[in-house]
Amino acid sequence: MLNEMMHRPVVMETVVKFMRESQLPFQGQVAEIEAYANERGIPIIPHETAKFIDFFCATIQPQQILEIGTAIGFSASLMAQHLKTQGHLTTIDRYPEMYERAKANFAKQDLNDRIELLEGDAADILPSLTGNYDLIFMDSAKAKYIEFLPECMRLLKMGGVLIIDDVFQGGTILDDEKEIPKRVRKIHRKLNELLQLVLPSKNHRSCLIPLGDGLLMIRKEKETSEF
């Protein structure tokens, strides 16, 4: 039977507006960080993506979380709420101004004993980590995703999940590279390489979710970093 919805836009602006306005707001410091970022144009995950990650973390209740791309600590603060009693979150950012703001935000929430904030390039830090993470959330330099992927898969425990944010490049991911502005062609090319590597793979389970600028989720199902 023909499904006419298959031929309509996946997420219309009215639906995005509905998702952002109809779902319950966050509370406390998490809400304050979200508002602070949105008022100043600081890049954080949009509300509908945050609600999904909040729901997902509440469901799996991770013990160990790794985040690549802290910004001012919004998503880390959100995920840390769902850590088990002895749980721990490690988050990495290479920008000093973001590092300092995130550090202050974690301190306000008394999260310093539960969140380890590392300053530096993920390319240098990831190889030094020992892993066994239940959840890894990657929201950093888009052209670097495919470079960081093997380390992320190494660091995931069996059955662990990697969530990669912003994989649709503003909806242009399927456009011809010649139509992409030169300044972002590398990102376009690297994101396509990532999707072409991950989606056909039978080593690990994956799916795409049209929230925000697109989420790619990968579940580790074999003791290999290869796809």
- Say which DSSP state 167 is in: -
End-to-end CA distance of the chain: 35
Rounded Cα distance between 180 and 13, Å, is 22
> For the ranges 5-14, 58-67, 128-137, which has the lowest average pLDDT?
5-14
Is 121 within any annotated ligand binding site?
A: yes
Quick check: 6 pLDDT over 70? no
Is 75 within any annotated ligand binding site?
A: yes
Strands (DSSP E) along 107-174, which ranges? 115-119, 133-138, 156-165
Is 45 within any annotated ligand binding site?
A: yes
Kindly report, residue by residue over 93-122, the tens digit of the pLDDT. 999 999 999 999 999 999 999 999 999 999
Is 176 within any annotated ligand binding site?
A: no
- Say which DSSP state 140 is in: S
**For the chain, domain boundaries:** 9-219
> Hey, what CATH class is 9-219 in?
alpha beta
Which of helix, strand or coil describes residue 211?
coil
Kindly report, residue by residue over 173-215, the tens digit of the pLDDT. 999 999 999 999 999 999 999 999 999 999 999 999 999 999 9
Tokens of 180: 């992409």
